[in-house]
Amino acid sequence: MADHPRPPEPRQTDLPPGPSDADVIRRERDRLQLVVADLSRKIKSLEEQLETATTMTEVTPVIASRPELRKTLSSLVRRVAMIVQGEKCAIMLYNPETGVLEVLPPAMGLTEDQAKAFKVRATEGVTGQVFRERRSLRYDDAARDPRTIKDNVAFLHVRSGVTAPLIIKRRDEDEHVVDEQCIGVIHVFNKRGAPGFNDDDMRLLEMLATQAAAVISNAQLYIKIQEEKEQLEATFQSIQSGVIVINRAGKISLVNAAARQICGVSEADVAGKPYAEVFTDGEVARLLGDAVRHDEELAREITLVTPARGERIYQAQTTLIRGENGSTQNIVAILNDISDIRNVERMKTAFVSTVSHELRTPLTSIKGFISTLLEDQEEYYDKDTRIEFYQIIDEECDRLTRLISDLLNISRIEAGRALELVLSEVNLYELCVRVCNAQQSYTTKHQVVCAVPPDLPPIIGDQDKIDQILTNLVGNAIKYSPDGGTVTVDGRDDGDSVLLSVQDEGLGIAEHHRDKIWERFHRVDDNVDSQAVSGTGIGLYLVKHLAEAHGGDVWLDWSEVGVGSRFMVRLAKVPPKQGE
């Protein structure tokens, strides 16, 4: 039904008929001007709101909406058709990306399909000519007129038509036109042929087109602003830092999703409420209160506890947004979670002190034994005792070397450099036996059992680094079994790789530490037993990187607090090429 030509709207009965009736035209034009003025006002107000929104001040609800604009455009095409005495009217806008003019819906007297299909290149037809030359045209016989062939207006079932350019003029303060831009054309069609539209109709349409162009350009601007606003909203909501905006009276303007989560605010819509009602937690309320009271920008570290996130440390900062007169309009508070940074800092401090301790202990022992031997001119100590002293010095030197080598490897990893492997064929069985014997020699409380089968296949790897992996794991198994017990090292062939396991009967590792033990500097400090064991918290971190460098992995296979643990290492038989 919609493709039936719609009759022109009836003229008002109290006015004399006739398209050239000056009163009707003037009235309609005035009405149209009112529509334009109204829309301009709405858009201006929206622009102002958006400007304030970008500086994070209070946003009042948007007055106009897109369906309203559609209504405005619909009444615009209807009025234009009525004034110019046309049956159909369509606005076409130029799409710079495609170089084609397309119908801006709603069009009057055209079905949706017709409107969609009506597309004309800017280089073709009456549409293109009017757009390019910025000059109106009219025609009486669309079917025969060579100019309209490319417009293909015949499929719209019309004979005569008049087309005017849609020109936006920008003026300076003195109302001088400083810029002109053609954004499209407006068509008015009739089914009837000659006499179709005359020159007066054409002038009239030109006049109306200028106003229509203003409406459309404002509408486009409005949509653009609206889209930008939505984008801004989405960005604001997706920021990971918590952002709270309040006005100077302490009423909330905005709270993003992250801030709601950080502060445990479940209610989504808190705009307009006093901040003290929403942020019941002392720290945030105090920060906002201080910023409002003292009218100054603050920065402080606050600790918040919520059921969802537990205890977290935040760097909180307030910024004052000032209006044109310099007075504070809004206060923006930004909360950044720095718990991890603080945690690493704390662990680093602990690390420095433990490393110093770990370095000093063997050095003190080495120095003590060497001094004793040097002072023993009288040969007070027998040969066996002296050998025992030398062995202790030797072991302590090994301990120092291991620690220094660990530290060097850590600094390589931290610097983002790959751990360089010196590859050769490694007999894992022999290596395991060696490590087990060495570790057994340091303890009398434990039995270090090497259950690795002698026929365990050799792999290509870095002998020293695999030694380091196993020494660390067996060393830990001994360290964290303060009451002694058996430490078993086992291994088996597993296709492309070899699996090694180190099991102990020691302290075990509580569930909540199992992921964290692989982080650098992380040490379990839940109980006095684990606290009593000296260590740096870098062993497992390094083991993981060393195993990965060998195309393998290491994981905690089993652990039970107070019962023991089993660590597993997988090493590829042939490690990946370095740098891959």
Contact residues for ligand ADP, defined by CB under 6 A: 476-477, 480, 504, 506-507, 509, 517, 522-524, 530, 535-541, 565
* Helix (H) and strand (E) counts in the chain: 14, 18
Torsions phi, psi of 500, nearest 5? -120, 145
SS3 percent helix, strand, coil of the chain, rounded to 5, is 45, 25, 30
Shortest Å, Cβ 376 to ligand ADP: 35
Shortest Å, Cβ 473 to ligand ADP: 7
Q: Is 18 left (phi over 0), alpha (psi -120 to 50) or beta?
A: left
User: With contact defined as beta carbons under 8 Å apart, do 50 and 228 qualify?
Assistant: yes
Shortest Å, Cβ 525 to ligand ADP: 8
211 or 447: whose CB is closer to ligand ADP?
A: 447
183 or 540: whose CB is closer to ligand ADP?
A: 540
Shortest Å, Cβ 415 to ligand ADP: 20
User: With contact defined as beta carbons under 8 Å apart, do 189 and 153 qualify?
Assistant: yes
Q: Hunting for tokens 């969802």 — which residue is that?
A: 308
Closest Cα partner for 161 from 140, 175, 146? Answer: 140
User: With contact defined as beta carbons under 8 Å apart, do 188 and 84 qualify?
Assistant: yes
C-alpha span between 188 and 147 (Å, rounded): 16
Q: Do the strands 310-322 and 299-306 form a parallel or antiparallel pair, or are they unpaired?
A: antiparallel
Shortest Å, Cβ 533 to ligand ADP: 7
Neighbouring C-beta atoms of residue 11, cutoff 10 Å: 15
53 or 568: whose CB is closer to ligand ADP?
A: 568
User: With contact defined as beta carbons under 8 Å apart, do 556 and 509 qualify?
Assistant: yes
Upstream peptide bond of 16 is cis (omega within 30 degrees of 0): no
Shortest Å, Cβ 49 to ligand ADP: 56
Torsions phi, psi of 443, nearest 5? -140, 145
151 or 504: whose CB is closer to ligand ADP?
A: 504
Shortest Å, Cβ 476 to ligand ADP: 3
Neighbouring C-beta atoms of residue 184, cutoff 10 Å: 25
Shortest Å, Cβ 522 to ligand ADP: 6
190 or 476: whose CB is closer to ligand ADP?
A: 476
399 or 522: whose CB is closer to ligand ADP?
A: 522
184 or 475: whose CB is closer to ligand ADP?
A: 475
184 or 537: whose CB is closer to ligand ADP?
A: 537
Neighbouring C-beta atoms of residue 462, cutoff 10 Å: 20
